Each structure stands twice: as C-alpha cells, then as structure tokens.
A and B are shown apart, each in its own frame.
Chain A
C-alpha cells in the first residue's frame, strides 16, 4: 500500500475497573476488572463483530468508545487523533462520527417527546439540512427503511411495541450518517423478518457509504452473516480475533471453540459452564478455570496476544507451545 491511512478507530491498552461490592465487613475493597487491557482496531468500512458471554465487558467497551464512560487507562484513536484527552468542546467535531444504539432502547428514548421530536433532535443538534421542513421530509423518507411509516411520528415511545422502539433508536442513530456505528444487540429484539430488513439496510449502508460498525450480538448466525472480522472477549480480555471465515473454520482458543460448538449444538445437552464474572486478573489466563487444556502456566501467567498469519490474533498459552 502506498499511503497508510490510520485506522478509523484504534484502542490501545484500554483498562476499566469498577469497585466490587464488599460481601463481608472485613473484605478489603477490591476492583473488578470489566475491560482488561484491550487492544484492537477497525478500518473504515469494516464491520467488527464483538461476541462473548453475558457480562464479559462488551457494553462497557462500546460505551468507552462512544465516550460515555472513561477508562482507567489506555488510549483511543479516531482517525489517528487521540480522543480521550479532548474536552467536550474539542471533541465536538468528532461527535457526529460515532453513534451508538443501546441494548435497552427504552432507556434512551425521551418519554416526554413524540417519535418525530426524538428523530428531529439529532438532525437539529448537528445542523443537518437547512431547516425543519427539510428535516421533517427527510425523516418521512427514511422511516420505511426500518419498517415504520409516518403514522408513528405523533406517538410517544411508551405507545410503541418493543421492536418498534428499537427501530426508532436505530433510525435516530443512522439519520446523522455516522462513520462508526456501535450497535449493541440491536436486532435481538426483532422478529426474523424485521431483523432481515434491518440487516439488509446495514449491509447496504456499509457498501454505499462505507459505514463501519462495531456489532455486538449473542447471535452467531447474525454476526457471521454481517461481520468481516470477529473479536471474542472473555472476562474483559481479548481471547481471539480473526476474519469471520477464519474464526469459524479455524478457531484456536478453547473458549472460542466451545462458543462455536454451543451455537451448533443448541438442542443437545450442553454442559452448563460456570458463567459470569469471576475476578479477571493479570496473574492467570481468564479461561484457566474452565479450560480443558489448562496447565500450571495458564494458572500463573496471563497469556500474551499473539499475531498469527492473516492477522489472526489469539491469547492462549497452549498455542504458544504448539499444542
């Protein structure tokens, strides 16, 4: 390549911890690691799927990128600019570029505004189009894209069904034509037919406008249909990342393997793993407890992320030894 464009977004060593609640009076206060030294980047026009069990830090990561949450340490670059040190004023030119659709749309749709007012807000805020008349027309034009029509405009959020609200949230993020869309479980509340419509829409936007997406979902079918690359998280850490094709055909990390097996064997009797939120640590592999292949090394040292062929990245001691 002749000119090396900086990636659209790059996370460097991002760490986020929360105070863990004390379970007894005599506990010393502990920090719970929600995102553990995370590194990754996304190119313009790329869709990165982010997967991992409930509570592994996906939403936290998304909120950090959307600047809704400050990490304890680490850097985030948007088109090469380190955005974390910027104050809200200096960040303004970047704000429109990153839009997030939340896991619980209910919480973000202002209950006292009509759907029309809700959709007008970002257009006015970012000075998109010349006047309100044009904006109203624009909204009416775009509504069918998400399977809604102008009969929804005078209603309030609580008068819509769950999926209808979700679609309003999706549209409101897309109206401002962001460069990066962070989509947190956006289609899981939608029936297959509407889901297909939204996924087709996202795919078109990606092809036409080079929309990049950080796409968080538990549905591996959906992620593998849409994403160019998939990043797997476990207890706050990156465990594996590769192109979709590569990850599905050649998963290396035992956790990724079990995740993919679960998707196929849905109807079989899976061993129910202990899931959730063990205290992530720098002193061991996050998956050591459950991993069938874990060794003494895994329990005493956190595996570094290794880069293999084709940008396939994996954090596993076994891989290192060539097991």
Chain B
C-alpha cells in the first residue's frame, strides 16, 4: 500500500445553515487530511456537525445549506472549484456516502434489485452482460451478510428490516469500489455479529482496494476497532484529534472525557449515568473562542478571552486546561 500519499484534504471549511431567517455556521473552520488507506473516525455530540461535514466533502449538502468557505482537495483537485457536471465524475463513483437515514436514501417505489442495477449501469460499466451483473449483485449482498440475496433483490425497501436496509445501502455504496467512503452511522441498526461482519468487510476492502474511510459513529467500539485516527467534534469545531487509542484511552478535552464516561453497562445498573450538564449552545449563541466553556467544569476567565491548542505527539486538543489524560475504560 502506498503510505502517506494524500487522498483528501479539507482546508478551513465552514458550513452555514438557515435558522429563523439568518445563516449561522454549523461547521466552523474545519481542517484535516486523509491519506490513501486511512480510516478516520468522527465522533461528537448530536448536532455537532458530523453529518454536514461528510455531506460537504461528498458535495451533497442539503438545499439551503451553504458551504461558506474553504477548500476540499481530492487527489490534488479542488472539488470546490468544479462545476456540478465535473463533480459528477467523482460523486457516487470515487467518493460514495452512506447516509444516516438509510431508509430515506432508498427509493420506496423501486425494488432493491432495480436500484442496485442502476448503480451498476452507471458506475460499473466493466461488468457486462445480465448474468454477470446479477452474479455481481448477489455476491455483494452476500458480502454484507444478507442471506437469500435473490429474494432481497426482489423486495421493496419497506419489506426489509431496519438492519437489512442498512446492509443493502452498504452493499450499494461499495459496488463502484470507491476510493473514499464517507459512512454516516452505517451500523447503528445492526447486531454485534453483523457489525463485526461489516467491519471485517470494510477492513478487507481497505487492504484490497486502498479504500479510505471517514467513519461517523456513536459507537466507540466501532471507531476503536476500525479507525487509526479519531477526531472529536463539538459545536462545529474539532476539539480533539489524534491516534484513536490515545484519544479514547487518554482523552485530553473535558468534553471527550465526559462523553466516554457516560457508557451504560450491567455493572452500573440502577445507577444514574454520568452526563455532560447543559446542552450544545444553539446555533445563534455559539461563542468563540470556546463553545464548550458554558458547560465546562474547568472554565476560567481565560477561556472567555482566548483558546490554545495543545499537542502531545500527534494528539492535539483545543483547550486551555487539557486533562492529563486519565485512563478510561470503554
């Protein structure tokens, strides 16, 4: 595998969303880079901008949402400078995305087979002939752990269970053998065995096809077992990033620390779960420098004036009072 060859670089992107007549940044000045074959985890509080980040990279932001600044380089080409027409050469082909609502990205009126065949026709022209195509579809459904793939092809989305739909979506985005996969909560509706199977599949693809992965997940175990690097998003900013093991076992940002401390378990049965008091500031009340300050137990007046970035090796954190990195078991 080619090491350290850059595939995708995000530079200072901001995404603004409408809220009662005005636009506010939901993603603020985000930068990071992914090398070929990298897998990067993106975690953070609900509403922190994870989905918008992925959608911005895929060029699939919802209507009315704007990328207000920044550049996205893919293979050295600035995607933000391309026309819609030119973008289409990448989207759904080199770059594919699994959406958080798998149910809504499938067309309810068409069978799974019809929808998958369309992807094949558009993006996998090398597979010729009806029989070969059918074979390919069936193999790809088997790969994501779906039994009786022939029957699945004939079903409509509503005839599948939540987890089955999610697996169909995964099979579909893998069809064109993408180079960058943006996966937004792709395994939330799956049992552990199936999750394990999907993660193995993704890992294999990474090795075989140098797939690069941006994985959004609330499931810390999924991130831990799949991603070498992890970024923590809070109110549209990356507040902590670094090697997954470092970030998850020695978190430095107070938010990350609290996040990892909230895990329910049988051992904690009946006990109230730890949680971060308060909530993410509403879009119109975001305050620079530190958005976490209103909820932060370590805040001082310094935090209202300025914020510093700390580095420990490759592990960096945006906080004036980084934690020493208490070991957390997850």
Residues facing B in A37-59 (CB within 8 A) are 51-55, 58-59
A20 at the interface (CB under 8 A from B): yes
- Tell me whether B194 and A164 are in contact (CB under 8 A): no
Q: Find chain A residues with CB under 8 A from B100 CB.
A: 162, 189
Which residue in A185, A224, A262 is a CB contact (below 8 Å) of B269?
A: A224
Instruction: Give the complex CA separation of A273 and B196 in angstroms.
Output: 10
Count of B residues near A, CB < 8 Å? 68
Given contacts A193-B259, A197-B275, contact A23 B193 (CB under 8 A): no
Q: Is B197 an interface residue (CB 8 A)?
A: yes
Knowing A104-B162, A225-B265 are in contact, say whether A275-B193 is a contact too (CB < 8 A). Answer: yes
> What are the interface flags for B5-23 relative to A under an 8 Å C-beta threshold, 1 for contact and 0 otherwise?
0000000000001111000
Q: Which one of B117-125, B145-153, B306-314 is at the interface?
A: B145-153
Query: Which B residues are CB-close (under 8 A) to A278?
Result: 147-148
Residue A301 at the chain B interface, CB threshold 8 Å: no
Q: For residue A274, which residue of chain B has the nearest CB?
A: B147
Task: Tell me whether A266 and B221 are in contact in the complex, defined as CB-CB below 8 angstroms, given that A191-B44, A276-B145 are known contacts.
Answer: yes
Tell me the minimal C-beta distance from A244 to chain B in angstroms.
7
List B residues 88-122 near A (Cβ within 8 Å).
100-101, 103-104
A117 to chain B, nearest CB (A): 16
Residues 102-131 of A at the B interface (beta carbon under 8 Å): 103-104, 106-107
A55 engages B161 (CB within 8 Å): yes
**Interchain CB contact under 8 A, B46 and A272:** no
Within 8 A of B (CB), among A235-255: 244, 248
Q: Are B225 and A267 in contact (CB under 8 A)?
A: yes
B265 contacts which of A51, A161, A221, A270 (Cβ < 8 Å)? A221
- Determine if B326 is an interface residue (Cβ-Cβ < 8 Å): no
For the complex, count residues of A whose C-beta is within 8 A of B: 69
Which of the residues B151, B265, B272 comes within 8 Å of A200, measured between beta carbons? B272
Are A195 and B221 within 8 A (Cβ)? no
Query: What 0/1 pattern do residues 33 to 61 of B give for CB contact below 8 A with A?
Result: 00000000001111100110000000000
Which one, B19, B197, B262, contacts A192 given CB within 8 A? B262
The distance in angstroms between the C-alpha atoms of A58 and B220, with both chains bound, is: 25
Whether A283 sits at the interface, judged by CB under 8 Å, is: no
**B162 near A161 (CB under 8 angstroms)?**
no
User: Which of B221, B263, B269 has a CB less than 8 Å from the CB of A244?
Assistant: B269
Q: Which residue of A lies closest to B193 (CB)?
A: A262
Check B276 against A106 for contact (C-beta < 8 Å).
no
Q: Which residues of B contact A53 (CB under 8 A)?
A: 163, 191, 193-194
In-complex Cβ contact of A161 among B47, B161, B259 (8 A): B47
CB distance from B51 to the nearest CB of A (A): 6
Q: How far is the CA of A166 from the CA of B20 in the complex (A)?
A: 21
CB distance from B39 to the nearest CB of A (A): 15
Is the CB of A284 closer than 8 A to any CB of chain B?
A: no
Chain A residues with CB under 8 A of B269: 224-225, 244
Tell me if A149 is interfacial: C-beta within 8 Å of chain B: yes
For A163, list chain B residues within 8 Å (CB): 46-47
Interface residues of A in 137-187 (CB under 8 A from B): 144, 147-149, 151, 154-155, 158-164, 166-167, 184-185
- Nearest residue (CB) in B for A222 is B264
Contact B273 A54 (CB under 8 A): no
Q: A275 contacts which chain B residues (CB < 8 A)?
A: 145, 147, 191, 193-194, 197
In the complex, the answer to whether A192 meets B220 with C-beta atoms within 8 Å is yes
B101 touches A161 (CB 8 A): no
A266 to B189, CA, bound (A): 16
- Is A218 close to B, CB under 8 A? yes
Interface contacts beyond A191-B259, A224-B266, A274-B147: sample of 18 additional A-B pairs, CB < 8 Å, sorted by A: A52-B191, A107-B103, A185-B188, A189-B188, A192-B218, A193-B45, A193-B259, A194-B45, A195-B262, A196-B262, A196-B264, A224-B265, A224-B269, A225-B273, A266-B192, A266-B221, A277-B147, A278-B148
- B-contacting residues of A (Cβ < 8 Å)? 18, 20-23, 51-55, 58-59, 103-104, 106-107, 144, 147-149, 151, 154-155, 158-164, 166-167, 184-185, 188-197, 199-200, 203, 218, 220-222, 224-226, 244, 248, 259, 262-263, 266-267, 270, 272-278
A-B pairs with beta carbons under 8 Å apart, 12 shown: A20-B151, A23-B148, A54-B164, A58-B161, A107-B103, A151-B19, A162-B101, A192-B263, A193-B259, A194-B46, A244-B266, A244-B269
Residues of chain B having any CB pair with chain A under 8 Å: 17-20, 43-47, 50-51, 62, 100-101, 103-104, 145-148, 150-151, 154-155, 159-164, 167, 184-185, 188-197, 200, 218, 220-221, 224-225, 258-260, 262-266, 268-269, 272-276, 279, 282-284
